[in-house]
Amino acid sequence: MTRAAQRPTTLRLVASAAAVIALATGCTSQPDVHTALTGIAPKPLPAPAGDFTAGMSEPVADPVYPAHGNPSIDVLHYGLTLGWAPQKKTLTGTAELTIRAAKPVTELSLDFAGGLAVDAATVAGLPVTVARHGDKLVLPLADPLAKGAKIVATIAYHGTPKPVAFPSHRGDAAEGIGMRATADGSAWTMQEPYGAFTWYPCSDQPGDEATYDIDLTAPPGWTGIAGGTATGTPGQYHSADPVATYLVTVAFGKYDKTTATGPHGIPLTYWTRTGTDAALLASLKQTPKRLDWLEKRFGPYPFPTAGAVVVDSDSAMETQQLLTIGAKAVTGLPPKETAQEIDHVLVHELSHHWFGDSVGPRDWRGIWLNEGFAMYSEGLYMIDTGFASHASWLAWARKADAKYRAKAGPPGNYHKDDFAAANVYFGPAVMLDEIRTAIGDKAFFALARDWVQTQRNTQQDRASFTAFVNKHTGRNLKPVIDKWLDSPTTPS
Ligand SMILES: [Zn+2]
């Protein structure tokens, strides 16, 4: 997630020296329901491949947001067939969930916005009557599921998605999280830490990743876009690498598509809104250069494709294989500074593909693992490109840490109504800088590269990070990690 939405933390360099100014700153099963509601017959998704073992997780109850997600189940795969009606602002969908029982279960409880209507549901191919409890959807099971048993549930639904409150005081908090329909008939998502449930039934927690097949239908002139690898059939996307719900993105709108090729042939796609986003597109075209910079430090880009979709948001997200970039998050400064801000935000979000997307947090206590590495990647890029000196970056980051640590708590135990405040960005980035200074560049970049490349598609936490760092360096760096994550004030 970008820190650009938190304008107080924008770093600007004054030309003379390193002066620092803190600005004020697949496979649907109910085509009949779908067709009846949209008038559009869904395209058949590719046949599901294998048994979805790539989507296996060991979910835990989230210690920060325990009301979200269901740690008793492990969703292996989501097949989402979604139609969008821009004039009515209606989403009509079928979700097919392949679920593994992580514990013995007697029912399937999912997160799903109470404002969306369920039209039909099945479990193991048989129709069931669902129960709704607020934003929980409960599907009954004919027989209890033993631990490890798998079952397929389908839910057909429709309605107008609405975002829910973002548990944060960030500058972009007012827009909420989840999917929203806009006045012009577009729809888009911005949904960290839990907003996926506003548009599809899911276990909405970072510790339960799954593979996806998404099939989007929109009227002529409109485009449905999702993260994942395009299958070749318009509107269809496949994610073979597991994705956390907060890293899924879908947008419907009037879009222009630009394609390019990144380092060693990575296919790139930039979706910009027709008639706008020229500055963003110009910067997006430099994605190969940024990927190259990141790969030189952290090893190969860990996914088969990359790109971005531009939406009308105040935020930006590292959604997997396709960034979701809010145009309002990166504009509003003078042209040169806007270009720099876009550059920095894009490096930040791209770096999350190594730190957050490929190696994800087991639960929301671990957001510092995402943002610390992304903020530090962004900082190193600022220094490498001459935007900041190391000293000016460090002074800026320490100052921001002091301010936000006092407001939102230490990064390892932040206030739950201050999700993704600057405290989880700057302090952990300075912690990484302290580790780099202690062990040297060669050992540090080997550590960062191995952290990702040896643990692709896993979820990690503070204990595993500390153990990895100590093993990799042969030193005891736990005191450094603990002081930066736990201290109520900025460590000296
Ligand atoms: Zn971020």
Average pLDDT for consecutive 10-residue bins of the chain (492 residues)?
57 35 28 39 44 92 98 98 98 97 98 98 97 98 96 97 96 95 97 98 98 98 98 97 98 98 98 94 98 98 98 97 95 90 97 98 98 98 98 98 97 97 98 98 98 97 98 98 98 94
Distance from the CA of 101 to the center of ligand 1, in angstroms?
32
pLDDT at 332: 84
Q: Which residues surround the ion ligand 1 when the cut-off is CB under 5 Å?
A: 1, 371, 374
Distance 425 CA to ligand 1 centre (A): 8
Distance 386 CA to ligand 1 centre (A): 22
For residue 482, the enclosing domain spans 360-486
491 in any annotated domain: no
Is residue 11 a part of any domain in this protein? no
Calculate how far, in angstroms, residue 371's C-alpha sits from the geometric centre of ligand 1. 5
CA–centroid distance, residue 412 to ligand 1 (Å): 16
Q: 440 CA distance to ligand 1 centroid (A)? A: 25
pLDDT at 46: 43
**From ligand 1's centre to the CA of 25, what distance in Å?**
18
Distance between Cα 421 and ligand 1 center (Å): 11
| Domains identified in the chain, total number | 1
Task: Report yes or no on 55 lying in a domain.
Answer: no
- Rounded distance from Cα 4 to ligand 1 centre (Å): 9
Report pLDDT for 2. Answer: 79
Ligand 1 centroid, distance to 36 Cα (angstroms): 41
Angle (CA) 479-9-393 rounded to 5° is 60
pLDDT value of residue 51 = 76
Look at residue 45 in the predicted model and tell me its pLDDT: 44
Between the CA of 158 and the centroid of ligand 1 the distance, in Å, is 32
Cα 77 to ligand 1 centre (Å): 26
**Ligand 1 center from residue 459 Cα (angstroms):** 17
Distance from Cα 276 to the centre of ligand 1, integer Å: 25
Centre of ligand 1 to C-alpha 374, Å, is 6
CA of 308 to the centre of ligand 1 (A): 15
367 CA to centre of ligand 1 in angstroms: 9
CATH number at residue 446: 1.10.390.10
Q: Which of 173, 87, 179, 66 is nearest to 408 (CA)?
A: 173
Establish if 87 belongs to a structural domain.
no
Instruction: Please check whether residue 365 lies inside any domain of the structure.
Output: yes
Distance (Å) from CA 244 to ligand 1 centroid? 15
Distance from the CA of 372 to the center of ligand 1, in angstroms? 8
Cα 299 to ligand 1 centre (Å): 19
Judge whether 277 lies within some domain: no
256 assigned to some structural domain: no
Dist. CA 186 → ligand 1 center (Å): 25
Q: How far is the CA of 16 from the centre of ligand 1 (A)?
A: 29
CA 348 – ligand 1 centroid, Å: 6
What is the 378 CA–ligand 1 centroid distance (Å)? 10
Q: Is residue 334 part of a domain?
A: no
Beta bridge partner(s), residue 212: 78, 239
Query: Ligand 1: distance of its center to the CA of 13 in Å?
Result: 21
